[in-house]
């Protein structure tokens, strides 16, 4: 029997716990995955939409995540094509984050390329990283991948998506509706105003659709803001959260180090 990777998103959902993701958009060295694991993150959010990371970089990061037991998800560029999504999954991603979803049709297309028949049209290959590169019967690959190893995360970032959220949430095979806070607030005309009525009303609508159709609400784009994160998790029921990204952590820590040294220097 081939070794099958565990999907921490689904495990956390089953136990009603929060799945905490670490974003990677800058550092291609796979040691960053070990640091994320050491910090007890549950998942990786490898960003190919807003970075210069390559498919090879993503694959290396995914496979390291699989080895360490931290579930790798990859955000693909908008309108990247089914072939690119296929390669991301074959490279070791346990799920794909699809940006700029607008409609029920977009959601259905995302599921179709992520799942094997009879639920989708993903093409079959052997020696997949999610099965430890071991020879595995096609029937096992199809069953395990469709059920556990190819999560579908749809980003909610536009007015159209919010308007169509009930239909989008109804699509079978979708796991997470992930709020992209930056783009959504821009679309709503309140850029960065996460306490505004426009933004919070939209999130309440998304949360209601998730609860109605049994989907997980995800929250991204607002980092190290306890008040907003607590609202999303405790009030809206978010079960997946992008906690921070490598670039943000490096930027903040760099400023803190310099400020501390300048404070010491000023006491001389």
| C-alpha to C-alpha distance for 61 and 69, rounded to whole angstroms | 12
| C-alpha to C-alpha distance for 62 and 65, rounded to whole angstroms | 5
DSSP 131: G
Per the CB < 8 A criterion, the answer to whether 49 and 24 are in contact is no
Q: Which two tokens stand for residue 87?
A: 């390669």
Complete DSSP assignment for 85-132: HHHHHHTT-SEEEEPS--SHHHHHHHHHHHS-TTT--PPP-SS-GGGT
Instruction: From 153, 88, 98, 154, select the one nearest 123 (Cα to Cα).
Output: 88
| C-alpha to C-alpha distance for 70 and 211, rounded to whole angstroms | 26
Out of 28, 50, 87, 121, the active site residue is 50
3-class secondary-structure state, position 184: helix
Look at the alpha carbons of 180, 183, 189, 193 in this order and tell me if their dihedral is positive or negative: positive
* Phi, psi for residue 123 in degrees, rounded to 5: -85, 145
The verdict on whether 100 is a catalytic residue reads no
| C-alpha to C-alpha distance for 98 and 80, rounded to whole angstroms | 10
Catalytic site positions: 50
């Amino acid at each position: 029997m081939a070794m099958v990777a565990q999907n921490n998103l689904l495990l956390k959902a089953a136990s009603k716990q929060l799945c905490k993701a670490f974003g990677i958009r800058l550092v291609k060295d796979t040691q960053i995955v070990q640091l994320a694991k050491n910090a007890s993150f549950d998942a990786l959010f490898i960003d190919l939409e807003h970075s210069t990371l390559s498919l090879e970089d993503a694959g290396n990061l995914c496979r390291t995540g699989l080895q360490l037991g931290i579930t790798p998800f990859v955000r693909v560029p908008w309108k990247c094509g089914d072939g690119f999504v296929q390669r991301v999954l074959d490279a070791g991603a346990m799920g794909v984050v699809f940006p700029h979803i607008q409609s029920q049709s977009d959601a259905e297309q995302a599921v179709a390329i992520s799942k094997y028949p009879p639920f989708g049209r993903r093409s079959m290959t052997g020696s997949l990283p999610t099965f430890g590169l071991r020879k595995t019967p096609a029937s096992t690959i199809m069953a395990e991948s469709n059920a556990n190893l190819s999560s579908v995360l749809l980003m909610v970032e536009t007015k159209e998506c919010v308007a169509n959220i009930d239909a989008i949430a109804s699509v079978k095979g979708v796991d997470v509706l992930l709020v992209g806070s930056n783009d959504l607030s821009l679309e709503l005309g309140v850029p960065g105003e996460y306490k505004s009525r426009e933004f919070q009303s939209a999130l309440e609508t998304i949360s209601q659709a998730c609860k109605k159709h049994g989907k997980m609400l995800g929250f991204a784009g607002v980092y190290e803001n306890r008040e907003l994160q607590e609202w999303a998790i405790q009030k809206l029921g978010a079960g997946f959260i992008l906690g921070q990204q490598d670039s943000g952590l490096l930027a903040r820590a760099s400023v803190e180090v310099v400020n501390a040294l300048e404070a010491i220097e000023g006491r001389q």
